[in-house]
């Protein structure tokens, strides 16, 4: 197989070629950098590249193969790392002017695990500033474009990670998901995106947006690749107090189980007003496919889901207001020039260093936490969050896995929602509930709309049930045979 075609294939296929010595890890890595040189000026997936580090990692993989030593399933496979996850001695900017020149002094836990598994980190992927956005138009550096159509958004905030994988500029990627920031770009870019159970993956070394919602997870071309990457990054971490103590299972073990007797729940509240007919048709086809495999389809109700947008944006902005208070120009990051006094330095540094969307969310969160409004907004939102989780607890007594559209529509045109933040926020309607409830959720591509853009289906399972989730996704992927290689071969302007 030609190496340019091989880098568009799954991680599993690339590993097989490595083991058979049909290609070397260095050749694979260099081919990915050639692809980046050809296409990233149009796509904007990366903020910075780490070529020397990636090539050195690939050389270690080749040495192990030459010596007939075992390598891990993803050794030598090119990975894009979202630029809010620390990589020691390299920039970590969160796509913000305020961290434009920041060099990370330590590795995130997930980054150290990537290193331990000899996975070449190709570069730091672009994102919405501080992971705040659904379209990747909020980066301080450049807009990311969707490889399926360069006039469309790739989704956010992990748009750079998704665009890199979809375009062939990486084979796998890590993103972070606070309200759908892995699943939404995966949906828009025709990929698999998985948000694990809260605490399944350490957040140590992830620049915090909303600490009770954030979770790192994989963006890949296939379900099996996602399971393999989850195997690498999951597990307890003493450096993260919210990390779960349970030893994770092998997430690839139960992928191929049949679905006879498995109960698939269908959320009626997410399949009504505002849903694109093409998305609805694709979801119905997925339901029919599950029925043909012996799964039982049950309708479930999540009556409080209508409050989820309001609940999410109160809690997320409140936590962002607190987390981003540290960026004040004192210890690190951008500092305004020639301030008149300390207060002037604080005000001007934050005014000049943060983008409009970040400022908007800080102001909303500060208001929700302020004296006289805390009980009315933040406390009430936390109470509703608990009730939403109880709705899910009831639903999972009826169903093993819950399905819904990932988004009511496919990728929209760049610039079409920038002036309407409320419309932009509504794109998260189906995804934010999983973060509020702390449950695992993932996107799987299930077809194309009339303009040739990918349609995503969301699957959700109860806490710590990623294996059920991955099994249901794998069997649907196997049945639908979605062609994820298209954009990496032909970029559409």
In the block, residue with structure tokens 């309607």: 429
Q: Interior CA angle at 209 toward 204 and 212, to 5°?
A: 70
Length of the chain as a residue count: 493
CA separation for the pair 425, 469 (Å, rounded): 26
Contacts of 370 (CB under 8 A, 6+ apart): none
Catalytic residue among 135, 181, 202, 404: 181
In the block, residue with structure tokens 């007594």: 397
What dihedral angle (degrees, nearest 10) is formed by the CA atoms of 138, 489, 195, 269? 80
CA 247 to chain centre: 23
Catalytic residue among 10, 24, 157, 176: 157
The helix or strand, by DSSP H or E, that contains position 5, with its residue range, turns out to be: helix 3-6
CA 378 to chain centre: 26
Catalytic residue among 82, 152, 417, 468: 82
Query: What token pair was written down for 311?
Result: 């609940």
CA separation for the pair 257, 3 (Å, rounded): 33
Contacts of 438 (CB under 8 A, 6+ apart): 197, 198, 199, 389, 463
Query: What token pair was written down for 236?
Result: 């307890």
CA separation for the pair 9, 4 (Å, rounded): 10
Q: Are strands 215-220 and 172-177 parallel, antiparallel or unpaired?
A: antiparallel
CA separation for the pair 362, 360 (Å, rounded): 6
State yes or no: is 181 an active-site residue.
yes
Query: Could you give the residue numbers annotated as active site?
Result: 82, 157, 181
């Amino acid at each position: 197989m030609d190496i340019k075609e091989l880098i568009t294939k799954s991680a599993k296929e690339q590993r097989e070629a490595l083991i058979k010595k049909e290609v070397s890890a260095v050749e694979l890595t260099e081919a990915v950098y050639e692809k980046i040189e050809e296409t990233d000026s149009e796509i904007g997936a990366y903020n910075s590249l780490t070529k020397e580090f990636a090539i050195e990692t690939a050389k270690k993989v080749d040495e192990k193969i030459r010596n007939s030593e075992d390598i891990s399933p993803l050794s030598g496979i090119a990975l894009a790392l979202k630029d809010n996850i620390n990589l020691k001695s390299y920039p970590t900017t969160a796509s913000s002017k305020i961290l434009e020149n920041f060099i990370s002094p330590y590795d995130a836990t997930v980054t150290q695990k990537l290193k331990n598994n000899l996975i070449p980190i190709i570069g730091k992927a672009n994102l919405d500033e501080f992971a705040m956005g659904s379209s990747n138009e909020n980066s301080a550096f450049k807009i990311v474009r969707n490889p399926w159509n360069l006039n469309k958004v790739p989704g956010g905030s992990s748009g750079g990670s998704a665009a890199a994988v979809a375009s062939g500029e990486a084979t796998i990627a890590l993103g972070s998901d606070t309200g759908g920031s892995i699943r939404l770009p995966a949906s828009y870019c025709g990929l698999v995106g998985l948000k694990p159970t809260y605490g399944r993956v350490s957040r140590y070394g992830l620049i915090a947006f909303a600490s009770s919602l954030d979770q790192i997870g994989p963006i890949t071309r296939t379900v099996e690749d996602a399971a393999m990457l989850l195997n690498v990054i999951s597990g307890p971490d003493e450096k993260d107090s919210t990390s779960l103590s349970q030893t994770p299972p092998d997430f690839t073990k139960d992928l191929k189980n049949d679905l006879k007797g498995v109960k698939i729940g269908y959320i009626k509240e997410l399949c009504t007003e505002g849903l694109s007919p093409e998305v609805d048709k694709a979801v119905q086809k997925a339901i029919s496919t599950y029925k043909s495999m012996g799964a039982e389809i049950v309708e479930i109700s999540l009556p409080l889901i209508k409050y989820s947008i309001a609940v999410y944006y109160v809690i997320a902005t409140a936590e962002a207001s607190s987390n981003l208070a540290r960026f004040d120009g004192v210890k690190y990051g951008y500092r305004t020039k020639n301030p008149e006094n300390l207060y002037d330095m604080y005000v001007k540094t934050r005014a000049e260093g943060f983008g409009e969307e970040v400022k908007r969310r800080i102001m909303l969160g500060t208001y929700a936490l302020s004296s006289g409004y805390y009980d009315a907004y933040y406390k009430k939102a936390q109470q509703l969050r608990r009730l939403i989780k109880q709705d899910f607890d009831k639903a999972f007594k009826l169903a093993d896995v819950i399905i819904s559209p990932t988004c009511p529509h496919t990728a929209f045109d760049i610039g079409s929602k920038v002036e309407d933040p409320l419309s932009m926020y509504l794109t998260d309607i189906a995804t934010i509930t999983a973060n509020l409830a702390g449950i695992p959720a993932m996107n799987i591509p299930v077809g194309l709309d009339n303009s040739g853009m990918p349609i995503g289906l969301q699957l959700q399972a109860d806490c710590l049930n990623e294996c059920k989730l991955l099994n249901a996704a794998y069997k649907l992927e196997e049945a639908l045979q979605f062609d994820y290689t298209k954009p990496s071969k032909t970029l559409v302007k």
